[in-house]
Amino acid sequence: MTKGLFDLSGRVAAVVGGGSGIGEAVAHGLKDAGAAVAVLDINGDAAARVASAVGAAATSVDIRDRHAVAAAFDAIVAAQGALDIVVCTPSINVRKPVLQYADDEFDRVVAVNLKGSFNVLQAAGRIMTARKRGSIIIFSSIRSQVVEPGQSVYAMTKAGIVQLVRTGAAEFGPSGVRVNAVAPGVVETPLTAPIKANPDWYGAYAGKSALHRWAHADEMIGPTLFLASEAASYVTGSVLFVDGGWTAVDGRFTPPGM
């Protein structure tokens, strides 16, 4: 029975942002757990590449467009007969001090990270609440809790996702639909490549976690599969921090004798 808790055989999953990074890793993980996986990404070629590798369908979709998101999910239901799991990973960041932020930069980050996540939650929620089952997992970040200079709008959106997930859990729970968030720390992906290229910056981030290293994208698979599976049947409205202890450790100085 315990082994079956994580078995996703017969489930249909959609990974939004599945064309690269964490989304790509999660798509492979869901497939390995037995789910039929649809890969959605704004980059259609990237989605097709990953879909080919996991034996899945690919769709190009811009999550800022609520109608496109709804149509993509409806197409999955039409083709597969169900939509049991939705994972949403996309986000963007413009690192700038508050006093230097431009209107178009603010709008761009909010449109992808917050509006896009809302569109995914809404479209998935309509389908799942009607079917009385499902799991929605949206990626937040440690920046929902802790910040650094230059992270104002990004952190704001990631904190907003936490409240969005909690509200989704409250509204969809009576219909048997669970909504949770995964909050990673620093993860090696194409998005963070510029940081990795700066040894001081890369090392500072590595040193901040209790494990003194960055995460690999495939380390987000297990936490996501947990939330998607029956192992988390009583988990909803939660934020699962996968940050190597970043948010648990206060300060970088180790007192003498420790």
Catalytic (active-site) positions: 154
Contact 73, 3 (CB under 8 A): no
Distance CA 115, CA 138 (A): 12
Burial of 248 per CB tally in 10 Å (0-12, 13-18, 19+): exposed
The conformation of residue 97, written as its DSSP 8-state character, comes to -
Reduced 3-state DSSP string for 6-44? HCCCCCEEEEECCCCHHHHHHHHHHHHCCCEEEEEECCH
For residue 196, give the 3-state DSSP assignment. Answer: helix
Q: Which helix (H) or strand (E) holds 104?
A: helix 103-110
Which stretches does DSSP call E strand in 26-162?
A: 36-41, 57-60, 85-88, 134-139
The conformation of residue 211, written as its DSSP 8-state character, comes to T
CB atoms < 10 A from the CB of 194, how many?
11
